[in-house]
Structure 1
Amino acid sequence: MIADRLRDAIMRGSLAPGAQLGEADLAAQFAVSRGPVREAMQRLVSEGLLHSIRHRGIFVIELAFDDVVDIYRARTALEGGALELILDGRRELAAAALAPSVAEMTARAEAGDAAGVSDADQAFHEALVQSSGSPRLVRAARTLLIETRMCLGALQTTYPDLREQAREHVGLREAVAAGAPERARKLLVEHMTDAVERLRPRISS
Structure 2
Amino acid sequence: MTGVENMVPLSLRGTSAVIADQLRERILDGSFAPGEQISEVQLAARLGMSRGPVREAVQRLAQEGLLASHRNRGVFVVDLDVGDIEDVYRGRRAVEKEAASTVHERGIPAGLAERLEGILRNIELHMNARDWPKLAREDLHFHETMVEAAQSPRLSRMFSTLAAETMLCMSAFDDRYIRPPTAVEEHRRLLDRLLGGDLAEMLAEIDRHMSHSVDSLTRARRERDGDGS
Pair in the same fold by TM > 0.5 = yes
Residue aligning to 2:205? 187
Partner SS for 1:91: coil
CA deviation after TM superposition for structure 1 residue 127, in Å? 1.1
Q: Distance in 2 between matches of 1:118 and 1:62?
A: 18
**Retained in 2: the 8 A contact 1:91–1:179?**
no
Residue aligning to 2:57? 40
Alignment match of 1:143 (pick from 161, 166, 178): 161
Q: Distance in 2 between matches of 1:124 and 1:30?
A: 34
Q: Aligned runs of 1:16-55 on 2, under 5 Å?
A: 16-55=33-72
Q: Distance in 2 between matches of 1:77 and 1:182?
A: 14
Structure 1 pair 31–88 and aligned structure 2 pair: CA distance change class (3 A): farther
Structure 1 pair 9–142 and aligned structure 2 pair: CA distance change class (3 A): farther
Residue aligning to 1:2? 19
Residue aligning to 2:106? 89
Query: For each residue in 1:39-66, what CA deviation from the matched residue of structure 2 results, as whole angstroms up to 9, or x when unmatched?
Result: 1111222232212122221111121101
Q: Which has the higher contact order (CA 8 A, sep 6+)?
A: 1
Q: Aligned runs of 1:156-195 on 2, under 5 Å?
A: 156-157=174-175, 158-160=177-179, 162-195=180-213
**TM-score when scaled to structure 2?**
0.80
Residue aligning to 2:12? none
Partner SS for 1:119: helix
Q: Aligned runs of 1:60-139 on 2, under 5 Å?
A: 60-93=77-110, 94-139=112-157
Moved more, 71-80 or 54-63: 54-63
Q: Distance in 2 between matches of 1:82 and 1:31?
A: 43
**Retained in 2: the 8 A contact 1:9–1:15?**
yes
Q: Any stretches of 5+ residues in structure 1 without a counterpart? A: none
Query: For each residue in 1:84-114, what CA deviation from the matched residue of structure 2 results, as whole angstroms up to 9, or x when unmatched?
Result: 1111224134323323211211222233333
Identity percentage of aligned residues: 36
Q: Any stretches of 5+ residues in structure 2 without a counterpart? A: 1-17
Which AA in structure 1 matches 2:53? P
**TM-score when scaled to structure 1?**
0.89
What is the count of residue pairs matched by the alignment?
204
Moved more, 16-25 or 85-94: 85-94
Q: Distance in 2 between matches of 1:17 and 1:109?
A: 25
**Retained in 1: the 8 A contact 2:64–2:164?**
no
CA-based RMSD of the aligned residues comes to 2.0
Q: Distance in 2 between matches of 1:76 and 1:152?
A: 17
Q: Distance in 1 between matches of 2:155 and 2:23?
A: 21
